[in-house]
Amino acid sequence: MQKKIIKRQSVETDAFIAQGIHPLLQKIYSHRGVKSQEELEKGLERLLPYHDLLGIDQAALLLRDSIKRQEKILIVGDFDADGATSTALAVRALRGFGAKHVSFLVPNRFTLGYGLTPELVAIAKDLSPAVIITVDNGIANNAGVDASKALGIKVVVTDHHLPGPELPNADVIVNPNQPHDTFLSKNIAGVGVIFYVMLALRRALSDDGWFVQQNMPEPKLSKLLDLVALGTVADVVALDQNNRILVHQGLGRIRAGQCIPGITALLEIAGRNQARLVSTDLGFAVAPRLNAVGRLEDMSFGIECLLCDDMTKAREMAAVMNQLNDDRRAIEQDMQEQALSILKKLQASKETEVPKGICLFDEEWHQGVVGIVASRIKDRFHRPVIAFALTQEGELKGSGRSISGLHIRDILAEIVAQQPGLISKFGGHAMAAGLTIPRAAYENFSKAFDQAVSRHLTEAQLHNCLVSDGELQSTDITLEVAEVLREAGPWGQAFPEPLFDGVFAVLEQRLVGNKHLKMVLGWGELVIDAIAFNIDINVWPNHRCKEVYIAYRMDVNEFRGKRSVQLIVEHLDLHK
């Protein structure tokens, strides 16, 4: 789909922002709505206080008493990167507090489904826990919580997903998105929520004299911020100020080599420079390798890697995870080609554009990869997409991805209200959701989804737009400026990395890696390297092209010890 480039608009900011900040960076911050110097500060003292989270004090007291009695505590996680980091953080923190009986259980994506289900509780029963703590799940697992309570197990739900009309009957719920919660960062990831719970628990134990009694120093939870940063970036939550602080602090620890062996090993095998790590390295190098375990196998292996303190063993586990990620890529490529073929046939049969709300299904599709396929098709067509796979029980399990302006979980709730029985269960948030439907309901659901999306999205919202921070002067495209922008983050969801646009002369162009376009561009006396990933090889290289209009990010390329500016091209078009 053709992309449209639009210019960002500045938000009025106080004059103090000009003090000590590069003029270009001042403009970029203004575009992102930064209004005060305080919003740019990333010290831990600027974190929102944990006591603002509803239920957190009760959770801390319950867990304090459980540790004092040395009861068995079971962490129930999720099979994505946020769930894995949340689980590893909870286990590490509780063991660090002196809890002697801490274990974890994560559902297998293919046999048990998401969260604390009654089926998972039946397995947990054999571990005889006194307390279950859910991380990155639980707010929609009413039946699983009831099953736990029926067995006499106390349940602490920690989650960040949107609740349904009825909250689970847990002993305590900590979720910033539950009713009446005043915590300002509604965008915090699951790993951030459990980090806050552990902060409150540490205070409760300290106030009770526990660490003195145990003759142990009070643990420093800042050591866990590497996990918080990874889970936050991986879950693509909006980087509000609180999340930027968490990610910044975690990146700092990783850069300094003060992180767990599992993260170091994954960075090594991905070929990333740990000392110069940025948030995108976590999102595009570490998170996919961790997620691949949950998509193709059992996330327990990934969690064990995050709990491993032996570097040699961590490297061995990272190698397995790297191979799984390669396998995932191959499966994804095949599924994506099949999805495009389905859409092509659909267009041909209806003699119209693709639906505004796209549903895709093939009986052979891999259940663990449909979410990535939905994301890729969403990016290509700029439409909300749900991709389905067939489960062992004969149902269809779908994973949906949305575009800006459409809350996909609310769309599913609307369909449930209008057509009861069409959806068996669902959950999620604005940009991503999961659901299960009867196999026989696929056609009806596809129509209902397209109709619901059509009611909520305007034609203008269906245009794929890239938002640019404007054109640069050629004198701005320097290594110094690229370094300033690199260090000015962390950049991510809702706080995007700076993007610029402009016209350049094409001095050289060639295909690398079969699908990437390597270019040398010129602008006046400026000569600079650029690369466009995953281009249309039917169009590029185009050796008749003398000038291109591009939207690009500035990056720092390192090769044989030499560092230089490179443009990462997000949009490429012939200059007319």
pLDDT digits (tens, 9 = 90+) for 432-464: 899 999 999 999 999 999 999 999 998 888 888
pLDDT digits (tens, 9 = 90+) for 498-508: 999 999 999 99
Q: Over the chain, what is the mean pLDDT?
A: 93
The mean pLDDT of 78-93, rounded to a whole number, is: 97
Q: What angle do CA 433, 119, 362 make, to 5 degrees?
A: 45
Greatest mean pLDDT among 151-155, 351-355, 488-492, 532-536 lies in 151-155
Residues 445, 439: Cα–Cα separation, whole Å: 10
| Residue 229 in tokens | 């940063």
**What pLDDT score does 22 carry?**
87
As a whole number of angstroms, the distance between CA 104 and CA 522 comes to 56
Residues of the chain with CATH 3.10.310.30: 353-462
Q: What is the mean pLDDT of residues 165-193?
A: 97
Rounded to 10 degrees, the C-alpha dihedral 191/197/200/204 comes to: -130
| Average confidence (pLDDT) over 126-134 | 97
pLDDT on residue 348: 58
Per-residue pLDDT band at 352 (split at 50, 70, 90)? low
Among 83-97, 161-175, 200-214, 553-567, the least confident range = 553-567
Q: In what order do the strands lie in the sheet with 432-437?
A: 358-361, 385-390, 396-401, 432-437, 425-428
Which residues, 6 or more positions from 487, have their beta carbon under 8 angstroms from its beta carbon? none
**Residue 260 pLDDT greater than 50, yes or no:** yes
Residue with tokens 């270009």: 24
Which letter does DSSP use for residue 555 in this model? E
Rg (CA), the chain: 24
- Binned at pLDDT 50, 70 and 90, residue 531 comes out as very high
Residue 117 one-letter amino acid: T
Which fold would CATH assign to domain 353-462? Diaminopimelate Epimerase; Chain A, domain 1 (3.10.310)
Give the tens place of pLDDT for each residue, 89-111: 999 999 999 999 999 999 988 88
Strands 562-574 and 547-559: antiparallel
Cβ burial of 443 (10 Å; 0-12, 13-18, 19+) is: exposed
Long-range pairs for 10-13: beta carbons < 8 A, 24 or more residues apart = 11/35
Q: What is the pLDDT of residue 351?
A: 46
469-574 is a CATH 3.30.200.20 domain: no
Give start-end residues of each CATH 3.90.1640.30 domain in the chain: 46-321
Let me know: does 433 contact 341? Beta carbons within 8 Å: no
Q: Is 466 helix (H, G, I), strand (E, B) or coil?
A: strand
What values do phi and psi take at 339, rounded to 5?
Answer: -65, -45
What is the residue-wise DSSP string for 115-127?
A: SS-HHHHHHHGGG
Helix (H, G, I), strand (E, B) or coil at 49: coil
Model confidence at 147: pLDDT above 60: yes
Which residue in 318, 313, 243, 315 sits closest to 82, CA to CA? 243
Of 556, 547, 545, 513, the residue nearest 532 (C-alpha) = 513
Portions of the chain given CATH number 2.40.50.460: 469-574
Confidence bin at 576 (pLDDT 50/70/90) = low
Residue found by looking up tokens 């790297």 in the block: 322
- Range 154-168 average pLDDT: 94
Nearest CA-CA partner of 135 in 186, 229, 198 = 198
Euclidean distance between CA atoms 232 and 125, whole angstroms: 31
46-321: CATH architecture: Alpha-Beta Complex (3.90)
Kindly give the interhelix angle for 311-350 and 261-269, rounded to the nearest 10 degrees.
60
Question: Mean pLDDT over residues 404-428, rounded?
Answer: 92
| Three-class SS of 160-213 | CCCCCCCCCCCCEEECCCCCCCCCCCCCCCHHHHHHHHHHHHHHHHHHCCHHHH
Half-sphere exposure (CA, 13 Å, Cβ side) for 1?
19
